[in-house]
Amino acid sequence: MNYINKMHKWGRIWAVVTCTMIFAFPFALAMFFGAWPNLGVFLKGLFGVAVTFWPVGIIEVITYTPMLGVGGTYLSFVTGNLTSLKVPCALDAMEKAEVKADSDEGEVISTIAIATSSIMTIIIILIGVILIMPLLTLINDFPQLTYAFDNVLPALFGGLGVVYLSRYFKIAILPMTLMLLLFVFVPYLNAGMVGIMIPVSMIITIIYSRSLYNKERKANGEV
């Protein structure tokens, strides 16, 4: 309990510090250059972004907190990039360590995995920026390479997905099929609704998994 209390204390402190730094930068630039945005234009732009990202932010807290634990949740939301990096790293680490997310061991493993991924991300980005500078001319000369870079993230998730889909294929088939049909036949979902559709697919998966569980129990005469 003392560990959890400390995580809440320092998590809140660093969350406030991070938010302060994020908001301080544009204010500092505006004050230094004397260039304040028009309030009407600012609110119009804010509303266009907020209607998508604010609900997603609330949904992500509710969805990911049980998976990441207290320390992992604070660290993930301070460093960002949850869906594509922090959550997969934490889940994979807990699976390798054979611990559950709601256990004390899972709490520690999740936090260590997310901290390690954050440090490695900074190092890899730094190395990547240094190495890619001489290649910028080559990339500009061959626009075909743009397609390869645009598909790095889908390729990464494809590799991760194959492992889990093959292991839990019976559970994955329904939500995977529904999401594929939605994104194929409702194209506008691809633009800014991915963050909302993730918890939707999770709810569908939970309901479907529960129905399969009850069906199996009934077949075995347990109900």
Which residue pairs, CB below 8 angstroms and at least 24 apart, start in 157-164?
A: 157/84, 160/88
Query: Model-level pTM greater than 0.85?
Result: no
* Confidence category of residue 190, pLDDT binned at 50, 70, 90: low
Look at residue 36 and tell me if it is in a domain. yes
For the segment 100-104, the average pLDDT, to the nearest whole number, is 82
More confident residue, 88 or 56: 88
pLDDT at 112: 92
The CA distance from 122 to 150, in Å, is 20
Q: Is the dihedral of CA 27, 29, 35, 41 positive or negative?
A: negative
Look at residue 189 and tell me if it is in a domain. no
- Residue 192 pLDDT exceeds 70: no
- Taking each helix axis from N to C end, the angle separating 39-79 and 194-219, rounded to the nearest 10 degrees, works out to 40
Look at residue 192 and tell me if it is in a domain. no
* Confidence category of residue 116, pLDDT binned at 50, 70, 90: very high
Residues 11-25 pLDDT 10s: 899 889 988 998 898
pLDDT at 219: 79
Domain that holds residue 57: 2-142
Look at residue 113 and tell me if it is in a domain. yes
Look at residue 33 and tell me if it is in a domain. yes
If one counts the domains in the chain, the total is 1
Single-letter amino acid code for the residue at 16: V
Look at residue 179 and tell me if it is in a domain. no
Look at residue 137 and tell me if it is in a domain. yes
DSSP line for 92-118: HHHHHHT--TTSHHHHHHHHHHHHHHH
User: Per residue in 122-147, is it b (16+ CB within 10 Å) or e — as a string?
Assistant: eeeeeeeeeeeeeeeeeeeeeeeeee
Single-letter amino acid code for the residue at 111: T
User: Both tokens of residue 153?
Assistant: 């993230």
pLDDT at 212: 85
- Residue 186 pLDDT exceeds 70: yes
The CA distance from 68 to 65, in Å, is 5
Three-state SS for 32-67 is HHCCCCCHHHHHHHHHHHHHHHHHHHHHHHHHHHHH
Please tell me the number of Cα atoms within 13 Å of 65 on its side-chain side: 9
Mean pLDDT rounded to a whole number for the chain: 81
Look at residue 162 and tell me if it is in a domain. no
The separation between the first and the last C-alpha atoms of the chain, rounded to the nearest angstrom, is: 38
Residue 118 CB neighbours (<10 A): 19
- Residue 49 pLDDT exceeds 80: no
For the segment 198-206, the average pLDDT, to the nearest whole number, is 79
* Confidence category of residue 125, pLDDT binned at 50, 70, 90: confident
